Amino acid sequence: MIVSKRLKAAVICFLLVFFFLLARLAEIQLFFTESFSKSNINLIQESVKQRTEEVLISDGRGSFLDRNGKELTGKKQPAVILFPFLVTQDWPVDRVSDILGMKQGELRQLLTEAKKPVVLNSRKIKHLTKQSVSNINSLKYPGIYGVYMKDSKETNIAAHLLGATNQDPELLKKKYPGRKELPITAKIGTSGMERTFDEFLLADQDTKLLYHVDGRGNPLFGMDVKYTAEANAFYPLQVKTSIDRNIQKAMEDVLKDRGLKKGGAVLLDIEKSSVLGMVSKPDADMSKQQTLQNYMLTPIYPGSVFKTVIAAAAIEQNEVKPGTSFNCNLNLYGEPGDDKGTLSFGESFAQSCNYTFTSLAEKLIKKDDSVIENMAEKLGLTQRAGWEGKLYREDGFRQLYNEKSGVIWGDDKDKTVKKAVAQTAIGQKNVKVTPLEVANMMAAIARGGEKKQVKIADKIEYKNKTTMASFKDQPLKGENIDKYTAQQLQKILREVVTSPKGTGRRFQDLPYEIAGKSGTAQTGMFTKDKQTLYHKWFAGYFPADKPKYALVVLHMDTPGDKALTNTVFYDIVKKVHENEINQT
């Protein structure tokens, strides 16, 4: 009796397990073949993949172009693809050898050792050309193909600005809850412009060469290689940026060659209010999260660059009279400690006298305790500088990912504290602004006071080069400084360079006349040998008489005597001049 009960229990358990496995098999084979598990895995596609060899020519994702239509995200290069099954065929190895300039034995060895299709690109064959691709395809032999494909190992320029793509299932579900056709393995933009423009760049179909294999890797249906591609004249889309590829590359080379490790540079086209080049250091490394921050869009202590704001407020409030002088033997708190002598307003700005601007700030705040932040707003330092507006269904589309806005006061009570006002006046205490905002301020001054949003993209194009959407010039919200204030600022910004003791006198021999302002901000950090670390700035525009470019260079966390700011600014201006000459 006991044995019979145990036998029945065992049979029942066996049947339960059997029916569970049968139900699971039905689930896999019949009911959920295209959306298995919570991850919605397409089992049919995965099954086909297991018996398919393929070469991805293009992932089908949209791309970024520079202002002249040059590729920014990986240039398509000539390549030749050889499939492994050729070793079993009497293929024209002699002719392929002649076209590629490789020995026949080398080609045969590559295929003999290959488990996947062999891709020969310019990294392996230096003299591979468009003609090589044409000659290869003229052979019309199955398993031998000439194509154009992006080099996956090629380093893209403007890495921080353009951003990156990755597999991120959670972000995919969040951004595209209704797009069930998107596989969980789909790559989406996770940073930079790849993220902000992701909806327009998403791949619909990739382009690849593929063939089916048996368990041993031999062709399953003979030498039938299929070509799959997006048969659409309009997609994928392309984002035409304002970046000048030549200038961007030159800026990156300058920072690399000079050894600037942390900080960066941003160059604007003043007339178009657009970014020509933007570099952030350290270089972006996807395995190191701390390297992905774009410091050109991050609020940083500006130091004496912020004296531009105090100068503008003093001019507008008529606090600077002709003949007014300042005792620049006093430090920022009005105590003995400096030795610059008695200076005029213009000389004080050129030599960056702290006392002049802290004393002016104190007078201004007594009249109006909002004067500093109001002037900062007029100059575009308290709101994001990047383009924001309506794009199709999205009212608040932003071109620049994770761009921050500047701040002036940490606490309104600081306005009644003399030392806090003094520190604020020279761009310390709680003052933080982004290099892009500072560059945009310089552009606004150069334009006569008109401030605009900064564009990084001009338009979105269809594959056939027709326009899908364009981004019009837009003003920054709020008031502008008046023309008289702008003219007076232009005058003292120029004096920074022309004055014998000006902090920008090094730039006197450049091919353009420069106007600008230096800045040195304490970070509160020190080197191992107790040297103080600073953020060193130079912000300006050029040519001073007919402004075309606004440039900001920032070297962060550097001892004062090792700052590369002026050297990098100097070199970039020369590169811009060389680029202009080459274009004429």
Which tens digits make up the pLDDT trace of 463-487? 889 999 999 999 999 999 999 999 9
Residue with the larger pLDDT of the pair 256 and 77? 256
pLDDT at 18: 72
Residue 152 has pLDDT above 80, yes or no: no
pLDDT at 66: 96
Convert the pLDDT of each residue in 162-198 to its tens digit. Answer: 999 999 989 999 999 888 778 888 889 999 999 999 9
Residue with the larger pLDDT of the pair 52 and 563? 563
pLDDT at 502: 98
Helix, strand, coil percentages (3-state) for the chain, rounded to 5, are 40, 25, 40
Which neighbouring-strand residues pair with 256?
none
- By the 8 A CB rule, do 80 and 102 touch? no
DSSP secondary structure string, 410-468?
Answer: S-GGGGG-HHHHHHHHTT-TT-BB-HHHHHHHHHHHHTTS--BPBBSEEEEE-TTS-EE
Q: In 10 A of CB 180, how many CB atoms? A: 10
Write phi, then psi, for 54 (nearest 5 degrees).
Answer: -145, 160
Question: Three-state DSSP class for 165?
Answer: strand
The pTM of this model reads: 0.86
Of 250, 241, 371, 257, nearest to 311 (Cα)?
Answer: 371
- In angstroms, what CA-CA distances link 55 with 59, 104, 158, 186, 250? 11, 23, 28, 17, 34
**pLDDT band of 526, cuts 50, 70, 90:** very high
Residue 221 has pLDDT above 50, yes or no: no
Q: Rounded mean pLDDT of the chain?
A: 89
pLDDT at 309: 98
- By the 8 A CB rule, do 80 and 145 touch? yes
Share of the chain above pLDDT 90, in %: 66
Identify the residue whose tokens are 């996956």.
152
pLDDT at 260: 98
pLDDT at 122: 80
- What's the rounded Cα separation, in Å, for the pair 169 and 176? 10
Angle between helices 93-100 and 104-113 (to 10 degrees): 110
Q: In 10 A of CB 33, how many CB atoms? A: 15
Enumerate the active-site residues. 304
**Domains of the chain (ranges, CATH numbers):** 52-241 (3.90.1310), 245-286+293-583 (3.40.710.10)
